[in-house]
Amino acid sequence: MKTVPTEPARDSQTCGYQLSTNGWDSRETYCGEPKAVGLCYCRPYYDWVAADTEDGTARMPPGNAIGTGNG
């Protein structure tokens, strides 16, 4: 899985799920995979977040892009 060291822009087509927060090496890591079509994260992270919600869907704040399939 591709990762990036900085949070992607909220309107980008990069997943951006935060994988670590200022760990022992004081770095943050985010998922760098493309968002899944119609979803706010890549498929693995969408499924993981949705599994932990009451209605089985993941949500993000307004202004966050939804995957279009256009990278």
* Segment 31-56 mean pLDDT: 93
pLDDT in tens, 52-61: 888 988 878 7
DSSP codes, 26-59: S--EEE-SBPPBTSSS-HHHHHHHHTTSSSS---
pLDDT at 13: 96
